[in-house]
Structure 1
Amino acid sequence: MSCLRGHVGPWTLADVLALPEDPAQRVELVGGQLMMSPAHGLPHQRASHRLHNLLDQAAESAGVDVEVFEAINIIVPDGLLIPGLVLVDAAAAEQATVAVPAHDVLLVVEIASPSTRVTDRKLKPSLYAAAGIRHYWRIELDPAPRLLAGDLHAGASGVPAQRSVRPCRRRSSSPGPSGSPGRRSATGGPCRRSRSGRSRIPDAEYAYAQHRSHIAAHRRRPHAPHR
């Protein structure tokens, strides 16, 4: 992105939002400095797509006004972040153009990749907590996929309280390859397995239950009028 080289001084939110879109990299803003990461690979996109569908289904089933977005601009006190997935109040999303304020965000999800692993684990949770976003999920793909659901308001010393969720814990009555009960995903189908025999998708049942709890909290939360 050649327009970055001629910039002088700290970057502002207006500067970043004025940049042309670049599908080859993601540009975020923290403390006046740009934070850039390359486009994500297929495993990241596969996990994002599947979780997006699960959250959409949960919202539709519950009949609440929320929307799920992938990789949108979120305005936080320290600048601008682009989570992997975001659950947003639908009324706020309808009025937004290029960015959504953090106070309209109910949940952020990051999918850790080699280029973002440190920021997703250490930097971003504190930035989201400072912005008032309570619920932070992180999906780790290596060495085996797992979902960590964090409550950013419950941790001590700024460290989020997290629950590690291993995939496909429910068993079905149908026999597996060796005659033992077969393991199935929460959506009812067989678990998708990697060569190591582990499931390749996050636990859908837990994601669905967590999403329903966010929806219930959203119903109870008073809404400030949108400007």
Structure 2
Amino acid sequence: MESILRKIRVEVNPKLYSKEPFSSELGILIVQEGAQLVHEIGLELFTFKKLAQKIGRTEAAIYRYFENKHALLLYLSAWYWAWLEHNFVFASSNIEDPEERLAIGIRLMVDGPTYLENEFLDPKLLRKLVINESIKGYLTKSVDSEHESGIFAQIYRFGDRLANIIREIKPEYKFPKTLIFSVMESSLLLAFNAVHLPGMTETPHEGSEQYQFFYQLVFKTISND
């Protein structure tokens, strides 16, 4: 199973890039080293000039693949959520119990991917990047037009899978999407706070406490509705 996922190159909306990054060695270098540099210095300090210096190429070469650093961040975020969906499909494929499948989905949202090896992008690095940087890709004036273009399809698709499981468990529950996407966003924020703003949570950044919190939140919300 893990050997299959290791070789998978996930597909993201082509509107996120000007040229398919994995169509060339340069494109691969841009996304791999770009992800590392964004993680190291943060989106605010990240520039294509710095990336160009790091990889020994020109800024113009990078702009042939991505319109700007915002597009690169959205691409990396979309890649992460698509990878998480692949993890969920593989992990839950032979499980009939919807509550067990939902628990797997919650675990993935809270703890990140189960399968941590991929030949194209490092899932462990993407997890750290998404926790620290991804929200900066959504809270912009351009989010409405980006939403209409479908570039958030990967995060929607993963969330919809879990929302459908809630409907399977309790069809009368009115807010499955709201509940799931609230967990998706707040689990990332909690992971950030546990490291950088620990006064905001009782849960450490390691261990099972964060998962236990969100597991109880979801299942008690459904059962008490």
TM-score grouping bracket, smaller chain normalisation: under 0.3
Higher helix share: 2
| TM-score, structure 2 normalization | 0.28
| TM-score, structure 1 normalization | 0.28
Higher strand share: 1
